Structure 1
C-alpha cells in the first residue's frame, strides 16, 4: 500500500533524515475514556480496528467513517528506525491531533499536548530499544465542552447551517526525524526589504559551545549572500545582507532558498537544514494596507479547509495547491483561512504562488466569557504563530472570528485584549485583527461582516464614509471604530446550487432565480467595495460549498458553478484605493 500524504510535512525546515508514519494503524474508539485503566497503552495490547492515518475516523478516506461523537480514540502501530539514527536523537512529530493527546513509546509515556490544530513533537530517543518499536496515541475530544476551540465542527449530531462534520484524533502527518545531539530546533526569518537584509533568529537544542552557524541564501540558483556567526548559546541572532533584491508580491511568489548549518571545528558539519523566505513588508498607511510600499486591494475569499472525503485533511498535496489555483483563477489574490489553522503544506503553496492569506484560529465553541478561556486559547495560538511566522503569504493574524455571546454571557474583553497584545509582541511585523466582524476591543484593522443581498442598500450603508460621514458599525453598542483601515471581511454568501436545493441546504438571504440573477447580484455587491476609496479589500463567502452550505463559487467537489472568467472579470479590475 502506498503511503497517503507522502510529501515532506514541514517545508520551512527540511532535513534529509526522516520517516513518514502515515498509513495503516490499529485503531479503537474509547467511548468511556477507560482505555488507560484497561492498559491500552501496553505495547502488547492490540486494538480492534484499522484506520488510514492521517485521515480522521469521521472521514471516508480513513476507512472508519464514524460520524457520531467519539469521546476518545486510540491508535497503535510499530516501526523500525535505521541503526545510524541511534547515534543522535529521534524526534516524533505530529502535524495535528484533535484535541488532548498523550503518546507512549514501547509503553512509556513521552508526553502530552493540548490543542487540536497546532503541531507538536517529542524526543523519543531514550525510549528506543533494539528492533521494532511501538507507538501508541490517545486523544480525547469534546466539542460540546466549551473548553476547546472547535471551529466549524458541529456540536450537534448532524451538520447544520455553517457547522459541518467533526474531526477527532490524528488529522495531519505523523513522522519521525533523526537529528544530531546538537541541532537547529527552529529558525525565525524576518525580511527587511527596505535595507536588503534578512534577520535570523536560530534556536539550538543541545550544547551549543564550540559551534558556528553558517547561512547561505540564493535566488534561482544564484548566490545572494552568506554569513558565519559563533553560536555559544541556544539562541543565535544575525543579519544577512542580500546582494540581489527580488520582492515577494501578490501573484509573484518569488522565494529565496536558505541553507543553514551548525558546524563544529573538530566534528565538522553537525546539522544542516533547508528553508526559504520571501522578501516583503506589510504596512498600514491611513486607510490603505501596503505590501512593499504599494497599496494592494485584498481580493479575498473565505476558505474553510474542508474536503468531501477527508473532512479537515486534504486527500493530497495537489488538492491543497488546486484550491489556491481555483481562487486565483476566479480573480482573487488571497483568502481568509477561516475557523481553522491550516497545515504548513497549504501555506507552502501560498508562498510559492504569491497568495495572500490571513491566519485564523478555530475559536468557535470556546467559552471566552472569563479568564479561563485565555488559558485554553493562548498556548495553542502562540504555537501556531511561532510555527507559521516565516511564511510570506501570511499578511495578518486574526485569532478570533465573531465572538458571539456564550449562553447569554458577553465575551471577556480582557481575553481579546491580551491575545492581541501577545500576538503583537511575538510578531510585530504583521497587523492583527482581534476578532473578525465582532466584537472589537483593540485591533489594527476594523472589519465588519455584512450579508445584505441588495446592492443598493449595501452601497448606501457605506456611502457616508466617502465624505467623512458616519462609518458603518454593525454593533455600535458593542464596538467603536477608531480610524483604522476598514473592510468588509465577509459579504455575499449568495445561496446558489440548483442541484442541491433540498430543505437541508443553507445559505444567506433569498436565492437568485437564475444564473444571470446571481451574476448581477455578485457584481453589484462586489463593485460597491471595489469602487469605495476607503476600502482596502473584501472577502467573499465563499470559495466552494461545504456540505449543506451552498454559497460557494465552486461545488464541494471543486467543480465550477459559473464560467470562471466571468467571476474573474468582476473581481480583478482595479480598485479605487490602489496606487
Structure 2
C-alpha cells in the first residue's frame, strides 16, 4: 500500500511524478551516514521503508517505536523533461529537519515537521538514473521542537501517542516550463460578490500575461487576461457580472457552507504553464456574542480529531480514509472538527472543502518556552498559512492550546507577548478567518472565548451534573469557572464580549470488549454511552450563551479510549442515534437571518 493521490489539490498540474513507495532506509544513531557517503550511494542502508509512512508505523514495513534521532532514506529516479523545462522536487512533510541530496549534492535543508517544501533540482540531474537521499533529524531530547501529541518516550501513554520521525507525507516531482506559477491565493470578498486573486511567478519575462477562467458547476462566471508587471500580481474579479449569478447571490445559491459546499473552479495559464484550482465564497465574522458564517449566525458542532490511524500513525493509509472520517462525523451530526495538535495533510482539507466540513486548524506545540521554541513556532505558522490559505473549510486558526509551550502565560508578560504576537502574525497573513488565541484558558488576545470543561459528572453524580449546567448558564459563571484550576483569561486581559464556545468536553469512554485504555468518563454499555452523551449535549444546548462546542473525540487513539469510533473507525453506537442527540437543538441557526 502506498499513497498515490495528488498531494497539492489547490494547485494542480497534469505533469507530475509520485516518488512514494519503496526506499532504502537506515537508522543513523551515531550520525555517521554523511562520512560514510550515504548521500552519494555508498555504504549499505540495510532496511527498506514504504514512503510516506514513518518507520514507527506498521504500514512503513518497519513498525519500530524505538526513538531514533537520525534516519536516512535513499532511492533512484528518472524524469523526462525538455531543455527549457524545470524539475521541482516536493516534500509534503518531514519530521523534523530534512537535508536533501540529489546525486550526492545537498540541494536544500528545511526545518519544520508539518509543512511542505520544494526545490528546483534541474541543475543537479543527469540524463539517466538520479540518486535522491534524505537525512531526517528528529532529536527527541530537544524540547524546543513542536511535537504536539507525540510522545518523547518509547511507548505511548496517557494523552501522548506514538512519535513520528522522518518522511510522513508524499514525495513527488513536478515538471514545469521556464516560467511558471509558484503560488496562488484566492481571497473572497463576500459582501461585494468578488474574489481577489494573488499569483506569484518564478520570474518575470517580457510580455508575460496571466489568463484566468472561473466556472461554477460547469457554467462560465468570469474570464480575462492580466498583464504581469511584477512577479507577484494581484487583481480583483467581479463574480456577479452576469444576471444569473447576481440573482442567486444568497445563503444557499453559491456561498460555501457545510450544508452547501459550493466551489468555484479556476484555470490559470501563464505562457506554457497551466494549473487548476478552486475556491469557496464564504465569510467568517463575530457580532453580538455569536459566530457568523456568510453574515448569518452559525452554531458549530465540532468533534476533536487527533488525526491518527492504527497502521499509519500520523499518515492516513489512503485518501479514502480522510473522506471516510468526514463522512462518519457528518453522519453523527457534526458540522466540523478541531484538528488537534497537528497540521493535517492537504488531502483532508480537499475533502472538507468538497464535502462541507468546518475545520479549526492547529499545529503541534513545543513542550517548553524559550527563544528557539518561539522562533520555530513563528516560522511554522508562516508556512502553515501559506499552504492552507485557499481552503474554504478552514474557519479558525488555533495557535496555542491549554498553554502548552507557554506554561506561565497566566502571569508572565513575555509569554503573553508571544501569544499576542502569534495572534497578530496570523491576522496579518490571513484576514479571512477567526483566531482562538490560547484555546481552553489563560487567554490573551482572541476572537473567541474558548473553554475546556470535562467536569460534567457521571451517572451517579447528580450534583456534578447540576454544577456543569450552572457553569454554562451565564457569561459570569463561565468566566468564574476554573477548569483545571486555570482562569479563563490571563492576568491583564478580560472578556470583551467574544462568542463563547465549549471547545473541549465529553471524553466518554465505552470499550467494546476488553480493550483496555482510559477515558475521562467511563460507561459500561451502549445504552449508558448514549445516555451520557445526551446528558452532556443537552446541558450545552441549555446554555443561552454558548455558540458552539467541540466534543472529545472522534476516534480512540491507542490507549486513549474516549472516541465515538474505535481506532479502526468502527462505530461504538449507531451514528443515527448520535445524530438524533446532536440535532435536538439549533438546526434553524443555519438558515435563520442575522438579528
* Alpha-carbon distance between aligned partners in 2 of 1:406 and 1:431, rounded to the nearest angstrom: 21
> How far apart, CA to CA, are the structure 2 residues paired with 1:278 and 1:90?
31
For the residues of structure 2 that align with 1:144 and 1:445, how far apart are their CA atoms? Answer: 35
Contact 2:403 2:441 in 1 (8 A): yes
Does residue 473 of structure 2 align to residue 463 of structure 1? Answer: yes
Matched, 1:508 2:506: no
Q: Displacement of 1:46 after TM fit? A: 4.3
User: Which of 472, 475, 496 is equivalent to 1:482?
Assistant: 496
Structure 1 partner of 2:395: 395
- Once the two structures are superposed, residues 360-387 of structure 1 have per-residue CA deviations (whole angstroms, 9 ceiling, x without a partner) of 0011x4322x343211111111101111
Residue range with higher mean Cα deviation, 553-562 or 449-458? 449-458
| CA distance in structure 2 between the partners assigned to 1:29 and 1:377 by the alignment | 27
Which residues of 2 match residues 54-69 of structure 1 at below 5 A? Answer: 54-69=52-67
Q: Which residue number in structure 1 is paired with residue 300 of structure 2?
A: 298
Deviations 1:38-60 (A, max 9, x none): 22211344421111101110111
- 1:191 Cα deviation from its structure 2 partner: 0.9
Following the alignment from structure 2 to structure 1, what is the Cα–Cα distance between the partners of residues 109 and 514? 43
1:538 pairs with 549, 559, 567, which one? 549
Corresponding residue SS for 1:87: coil
- Alignment match of 1:548 (pick from 555, 559, 572): 559
Give the distance between the partners of 1:449 and 1:469, measured in 2 at CA.
Answer: 10
Pick the aligned partner of 1:444 from 441, 444, 447.
Answer: 447
CA shift in 2, pair 1:214/1:408, >3 Å: closer
CA distance in 2, matches of 1:406, 1:471: 22
Mapped partners of 2:70, 2:371: distance in 1:
27
Preserved CA contact (<8 Å) 1:79 1:132: yes
Contact 1:371 1:412 (C-alpha < 8 Å) held by counterparts? no
**1:574 Cα deviation from its structure 2 partner:** 3.0
2:550 equivalent to 1:526: no
1:143 to partner: Cα distance: 3.6
Q: Is the 8 A contact 2:98 2:134 kept in 1?
A: yes
Unaligned runs of 5+ in 1: 263-268
**What is the aligned partner in structure 1 of residue 462 from structure 2?**
none
2:257 paired with 1:249:
yes
Partner of 1:546: helix, strand, or coil? Answer: coil
What SS does the aligned partner of 2:343 have?
coil
Asked whether the 8 Å contact 2:36–2:42 carries over to 1, the reply is no
**CA deviation after TM superposition for structure 1 residue 573, in Å:** 3.1
Q: Which residue of 2 aligns with 1:209?
A: 206
Change (3 A) 1:107 1:334: same
State the shift of 1:226 in Å: 1.2
Q: In the alignment, is residue 127 of structure 1 matched against residue 124 of structure 2?
A: yes
Give the distance between the partners of 1:205 and 1:405, measured in 2 at CA. 37
CA contact under 8 A between 1:14 and 1:275: conserved in structure 2?
yes
Question: Is residue 420 from structure 1 mapped to residue 423 from structure 2 by the alignment?
Answer: yes
Counterparts of 2:324 and 2:423 in 1: how far apart (Å)?
Answer: 32
Residues 71-220 of structure 1 aligned to structure 2 (within 5 Å): 71-84=69-82, 86-220=83-217
SS state of the match for residue 367, structure 2? coil
1:250 offset after TM fit, Å?
A: 1.4
1:34-81 deviations in whole A, cap 9, x for unaligned? 212222211344421111101110111110111100111000000001
- Within 2, Cα distance between the matches of 1:469 and 1:349? 35
Give the aligned partner of residue 289 of structure 2: 287
Distance 2:280 2:289 in 1: 25
Which residue of structure 1 aligns with residue 386 of structure 2?
A: 386
CA distance in 2, matches of 1:308, 1:456: 38
Kept in 1, the 8 Å contact 2:474–2:543? The answer is no
DSSP-derived class of the 1:378 partner? helix
Match of 2:508 among 474, 494, 510: 494
Work out the CA distance in 1 between the residues paired with 2:155 and 2:478.
45
Partner secondary structure for residue 473 of structure 2: helix
What TM-score, normalized by structure 1, do the two folds share? 0.94
User: How far off its partner does 1:470 sit?
Assistant: 5.6
- Tell me by how many angstroms 1:471 deviates: 5.3
Structure 1 residue aligned with 2:461: none
The answer on whether the counterparts of 2:102 and 2:133 sit within 8 Å (CA) in structure 1 is: yes
Determine if contact 1:255/1:278 at 8 Å carries over to the other structure. yes
TM-superposed CA distance for 1:576, in Å, is: 9.1
Picking from 293, 312, 315, the partner of 2:314 is: 312
Match of 1:266 in 2: none
Q: Which SS does the other structure have where 2:538 is aligned? A: helix
Which of 26, 32, 36 aligns to 1:28? It is 26
Residue 53 of structure 1 aligns with which residue? 51
* Structure 1 CA distance for aligned equivalents of residues 478 and 170 of structure 2: 52
Query: Per-residue deviation at 1:87?
Result: 2.5
Report how many residues are paired: 564
Q: Distance in 1 between matches of 2:395 and 2:195?
A: 17
Normalising by structure 2, what TM-score? 0.91
- For the aligned residue pairs, the C-alpha RMSD in angstroms reads 1.9
Residue in structure 1 matched with residue 339 of structure 2 by the alignment? 337
Partners of 1:469 and 1:304 in 2: how far apart? 26
Matching residue within 553, 574, 579 for 2:585? 574
Change (3 A) 1:143 1:440: farther
Distance of aligned partners of 1:366 and 1:227 in 2 relative to their CA distance in 1, 3 Å threshold: farther
Partner of 1:431: 434
Distance 2:444 2:158 in 1: 28
Contact 1:32 1:71 in 2 (8 A): no
Shift of 1:481: 2.7
Q: Deviations over 1:252-294 (max 9, x none)?
A: 21111000111xxxxxx32110000111110111211111111
Shift of 1:469: 8.8
Question: Which residue in the other structure is 1:265 paired with?
Answer: none
CA distance in structure 2 between the aligned counterparts of 1:408 and 1:12, rounded to whole angstroms: 39
